[in-house]
Structures are given as C-alpha cells and as structure tokens.
Structure 1
Amino acid sequence: MPAGRQGIKLARMARDEALSWRPIERGDVEGWSALIAAVQVADHDREYYGVEGLLDLFQDPYRDFPRGSVGIFDGTAIVGYGTLMSRTAADPEHQMRYWGAVHPEYRGRGLGGRLLDWAESAAVPLHRDRYPGRPLALSTYTLSGNREALALHEAHGYRPVRWFHGMARDLSAPLPEAAEPAGFEIVGLTPDAWEHARLLRNDAFRDHWGSTEMTPESWAHFMAVGAYRSGYSFIAYGGDQPLGFVIGHEYEGVTEATGHRDAYIALVGTGRAARKRGVAFGLLSRVLAAAKAAGCDTASLGVDADSPTGALGLYQRAGFTMEHTSVTHLKSLPG
C-alpha cells in the first residue's frame, strides 16, 4: 500500500477507535432526532422523527432497547444507530425489522456494514426468546434511489422483495366529495370502538404481504402514541356492523422540519366482506376534509406497490401522487 494511503487508513482507524457503541437510552433522543434529520437531508428521506415520536418507541412492547438497539457515539454525539423490532407472529417466519443509519459525515468507514452485522447478531437471541424453533429473517428498507444503501444490502446478502410508495396530496386542491355510501354511517373513532378497529385491521390486512395480526398489546401502544389524532380518525358502520376505519396521525417532527402541517394516514382498512362498496373512499374523503378544516396543509400515506386490494388506485382517485419509493430487503438468518 502506498505510504499516503496507509496514513489515511491509520488515521481512519484512529478515529474509529474513538467511537463507542452502546444501547440507545431515553436521554439520547435529542441527539438521535438531530442525527435522523441530518440523514434525511442527505438521503432525501421523508421519514421525519421528532423527539416525541422517538420517545414513543420506548413504550413499544415489541422493542427491547437494552438488547435490540445500538448507538454509535463520537464523544457525546450520536453518529449512527440501529434498532430492531420483533413482530407479533412468526407466520410463516419471523420477519424482524431493522432500522438504522449513519451520519453523512461518518460514511465510507464501514459503519453501515458493522451495524448490519450487529443487527444480525442481536436479532437471534431476541427471536429465540419469542419464537424458539421458528425460522427467522431480517427485513430492512432503503429508498429506491439510494445507490450506496442498495449496494450495501446486496453485499451483505439481502435481496429486494417488496416496493412501497410514499404518496401525498395538497389539501388546498379540491377535495373529493365526502359522500357516505348508502346504508353506511361514518362516525368519529372513539375509545369504545378501538377494539372494533383492531379486529377490522386484522381482517383487512391478513392477505397483505408481511403483515401480522396486531395483538391487544401492540394495538394499545399504537393508539397511545403522541401523534395519534382522534379528529382525523373515523370508523364506518352498516347498522351495528363495523365495516372500515381510518386512523390519522400528525407528527411534530414533520412540522419542525418542513414548516407545514401534514396529516399522515397511518392506517385505512375495510373488512373483507365490505370491499368494493365505497367504504374506504368515503373514509378517505372524511379524513381529508377534517384535516383541511383543522389547518393541515398536506396529507400523506404509504402503500404497497402490489397491494392485493388495489389501494394504489384508490389513493390516486383521492388525489394522492407518488413522491418516493422504498425497497424492502430480506435476509434469512439462523433462528
């Protein structure tokens, strides 16, 4: 190796030796949020996480921060992170989810690969605690245009398996007419109807790729997050029969980063028996009108590009357009 390049390598190793690795704690969320913001700017990622949203993760019953998270620290500054989330079932395999990134100024030093190595190692004991003897896979996602991230995952044996679109619409543009289908009634989603919504969600998504049932435990956490907005959440009934629902969030991190308010449609689903009857479109129309009336500037959502229910077409009819596409990668691990 030429002397100059050897000097560069030694200097890089010296810098890496100054980095420390440890689990992420609640006291780290301010720095963690700043790190995610830097990554978003560099990668043109639209997943904004403020402090409130990150703190909510510590209450998730399917996350184990002491064993299933790691931060890379340069002194007191967090410059990289990785987290794992277990799923509610291992059917047919346990697709544990990984989420991580490295600060743009610390890239090119192998830290992204080391985070993937950490995730694959840390996932195994967490998996065995929940689903002993069942197959294990690790899933992660990258933006479709992020060549470096795509190459990193390919080099580590991950294969692309699914594509998801991020969609948005301007609420200042004309909204679809908020008409309710004949014989249906759309009302606000109050706590006494949350269990109806959970059962609808499980029915609606049981034929969706990678979806597992939401347990009462995971649903309670989902409905308790600080971003939940009851004013953007509705349920449809036909008589006493629940038919469909929509749940809206609003993230402070988005407002802080972009300067505008966005109503994020976290979930929308129709029971299988009520599909193709206009329930989902009626629910979407209602939440868009409610968000606009509350002062939101935009609405956004995510959708499986190959949704079995034709959700992409539904959202396009409601005025949503695609903004970005993410790729889900999967790798089988020894369980």
Structure 2
Amino acid sequence: MSSDSGYTWRPITVDDTDTFLRLRHALAEADDTGDHFGRDQVTETFASSYIDFPRGSVGVFTEGGVVEDGEAEGGEMVAYCYLQARTAADPVHEFRMSGGVHPGHRGRGLGTRLLEWAAEAVVPLHLERFPQAPLSLNIGTLVGHTAMEQLFADQGYQQRRWFNTMRIDLGRELPGAPLPEGVTVRTFAPECSEDARTVRNEAFRDHWGSTETSPEIWQQVTSGSAFRPDLTVVAYQDGEPLALVLTEEFDEYRAATGKRDLYIGLVGTRRSARGRGLASALLTQVLARARAEGFDTASLGVDADSPTGALGLYQRLGFRAEQVWVVQSKPIGVGAPVV
C-alpha cells in the first residue's frame, strides 16, 4: 500500500465492490461508453482465475476520515486498473487491461501512473504463464476521446484494430432468413454446452486477437448472471454442431436506460459450414424470440475487419453502428527494466 498526494494506492479486493461500482457508473456516464457494470459482474470478475487481484490490480482511493476506534476508514475509489491473462500466447501473450480515472480526478497524472504501474506489474504475471513468448498490453478505448488517445500515445501505445458496437431496434420489421435444409436448432442446455464451446473455438480460430476458450472460462460464461440460455441457440446437422448464437441480458443497462437490450455475445459458424446462411438464420430466430419477450433492442460488438464478413451481415439484418472502439497495444520488453 502507498499513499501520496491525498491518494492511497493498493490492490482491489472484494470488499471494494460498492465503491468500485460507483466508479464504473461514473465512468459510463461521463464517457458515454454504455458499459453498465452490475454487482453480479463484479463478483464474477473477482472469481476469475485469469486475474490475479493481489498482484495484478490497483485501486486509487481518496484518503478516508477517522472512525470512532481511531482507525482510518477507506476512501472512495477514483481510479483503477486490473490485468487479465490470456489462455494462449499465439504468438504474443496479449495481456488485457481494464482501467479508468473518475472524471473529477482527471488531469492529475493518475492515468499515466496507472499505465506505468501496469507495464511493471504485468511482467511477472506473464513470465509465470508464457516465459518464452513476447508480451503486449492491450486495452480497448472509445474512438473520439482525444485526451485518452493522447495519453496512450504518450505511453507508447499504438492503435491496432477497430471494433464497432452495433444495435438494432426490435420494433422494426425483421428480415427473414430460412434455415438450410437438414439443419435443426436447439435451445442451449447443459448437454449441448461442450458442442457450443467447440463451435466457438473453431469459429474464432482465424479471428484477430482470439484465443481458445477453456472449459473453465466457458463454465464462467454459461453460468454467469447475465447469460440467457433460453435465447442462446446451437445449430446441428446429422448430430454435428455447426453454428452458435450466445446471448446475455444486463440488468444494469435496463436500470440505466429504461430499455431491455439483448446483448449478442457470440455469433460463430464452423469453417466447414460457412457460406450457407446459418448465422443469418440463427440470428433472425433469436431476434424474433427477443422481440416476442419484450426486448426493445439487441446489440453486439464486431471486428470492423472480420475475416468472415460479419460487419456486412449485421448491416443487412438491420444493425447500425453506434460506437467505434480501438485496441491500443504496447509491446513490453520481458525482463527489461521499466522506466
């Protein structure tokens, strides 16, 4: 733990959930990210085995007052950063980073110090997993935030890949997309979970920045509080899983906007089944179900340069881009001193 300039720096713990949530809400509102984080998502983040919170996280807190027993009470979290390892280094271990600074505490150098901390803290965490592989730090930032873009440029980050957040109004007429002959659709159930993971891993093997989803991560996804198994579907032909649409619903988004949005977390088709219209057919089925259940919109994120032409597919179905995100990336010299 360290304390300077009116702030205390220390690892984030589960006891910080309330103040962490307040900070995330402030960031979502100030930066218009649409990132409405809920208590369940915080709890699930703390449970991840790919985030080492004691060594791979830091919270910046205002210095607290004094309680009756004379001990200093915890202050409010005004900035944070945590690091998330990947399941593979293919060929680079692209360590993911999440972080932010409360709008009322910007311009004081906290963002710079967080990035400096991350570049140092990530090295031992990387060496424990993939000691022979090169290392980079990656984070997604919203395009158009000039000060943020300058911060990362000053720290040696480069903009590498662009992604669109897209949304469709479910009140509009949805296009039809029939299933190919011989294909059946199953609503997600535990007995088809491994089939769905197989589809996910093969479908995204040629996508930028994607690594294998391990059984552990898949279990976390499909048991998460936001997961909607009743609106998640797997396509089969002759008993072979071919395609997948996985969905989630975030209560915090509904609380913040007054609207129900179905988040489409995954759309994937195995290579051997591409070009048959499976993704379109599954998506239109899911969207129709969502509208019947009372959802107002559906949203998703897509690589602007997806090798499968996903951006065009979503546009044809009626999705429209709302935001553009860019992956900021910085190579880290493993074993080299951080200055």
TM-score (norm 2): 0.92
Matched, 1:61 2:49: yes
Q: How many residues align?
A: 321
- Which residue in the other structure is 1:170 paired with? 169
Share of identical aligned residues, percent? Answer: 48
State the match for 1:314 in structure 2: 313
Q: Secondary structure at the match of 1:97?
A: strand
Does structure 1 conserve the Cα–Cα contact (< 8 Å) formed by 2:177 and 2:277? no
Q: Trace 1:1-335 onto structure 2 (pairs within 5 A).
A: 17-74=5-62, 75=64, 76-177=75-176, 179-335=178-334
Instruction: Point out where structure 1 has 5 or more consecutive residues left out of the alignment.
Output: 1-14
Deviation per CA, 1:206-254: give whole Å up to 9, x if none: 1100111111122111212110011110000012111101110001111
**What's the CA shift for 1:16?**
5.3
How far, CA to CA, are the matches of 1:318 and 1:181 in structure 2? 17
In structure 2, the residue corresponding to 1:296 is in which secondary structure? coil
AA partner of residue 134 (structure 2): P
Distance 2:178 2:42 in 1: 37
Q: Is the 8 A contact 2:61 2:79 kept in 1?
A: yes
Letter in 2 for 1:54: V
Please tell me whether the aligned partners of residues 178 and 289 of structure 1 are also in contact (alpha carbons under 8 angstroms): no
SS of the aligned residue for 1:280 comes to helix
**What amino acid is the match of 2:185?**
I
| Superposed structure 1 runs of 4+ greater than 3 Å apart | none
Within 2, Cα distance between the matches of 1:145 and 1:87? Answer: 28
CA contact 2:302–2:310 (8 Å) conserved in 1? yes
Query: Which residue number corresponds to residue 10 of structure 1?
Result: none
Residue 125 of structure 1 and its aligned partner are, at CA, apart by: 0.8
SS in 1 for 2:20: helix
- State the 1:31 CA deviation: 1.6
Deviations 1:104-141 (A, max 9, x none): 00000000011111111111111011111211100012
The alpha-carbon deviation at position 177 of structure 1 amounts to: 2.4
- Give me the whole-angstrom Cα distance separating, in 2, the residues matched to 1:31 and 1:259: 23
- CA deviation profile, 1:157-208 (whole Å, cap 9, x unmatched): 0000000000001111112226322221111011111111111111100110
For structure 1, which segment, 136-145 or 38-47, has the greater mean C-alpha deviation from structure 2 after superposition? 38-47
* SS, match of residue 326 in structure 2: strand
Residue number in structure 2 paired with 1:8:
none
Whether the 8 Å CA contact 1:254–1:262 is kept in 2: the answer is yes
**Which residue number in structure 1 is paired with residue 69 of structure 2?**
none
Cα RMSD of the aligned pairs, angstroms, is 1.2
Structure-2 separation of matches of 1:114 and 1:158: 15
- 1:70-98 per-residue CA deviation (whole Å, 9 max, x = no partner) reads 11111321100101100000110100001
Q: Normalising to structure 1: TM-score of the pair? A: 0.93
1:231 aligns to what SS in structure 2? helix
What SS is found at the alignment partner of 1:139?
strand
CA distance in 2, matches of 1:287, 1:132: 43
SS of equivalent residue, structure 1 residue 72: strand
**Cα distance between partner residues in 1 of 2:175 and 2:18:** 39
Instruction: Tell me, in whole angstroms, the C-alpha distance in 2 between the residues paired with 1:180 and 1:63.
Output: 40
The Cα of 1:59 is off from its aligned counterpart by 1.7
Take 1:151 and 1:268, find their aligned partners in 2: how far apart are those partners?
A: 33
Q: Which residue of 2 aligns with 1:7?
A: none
How big is each residue's C-alpha offset from its partner over 1:257-283, in whole Å with a ceiling of 9 and x where there is no partner? Answer: 111111000111000000010110111
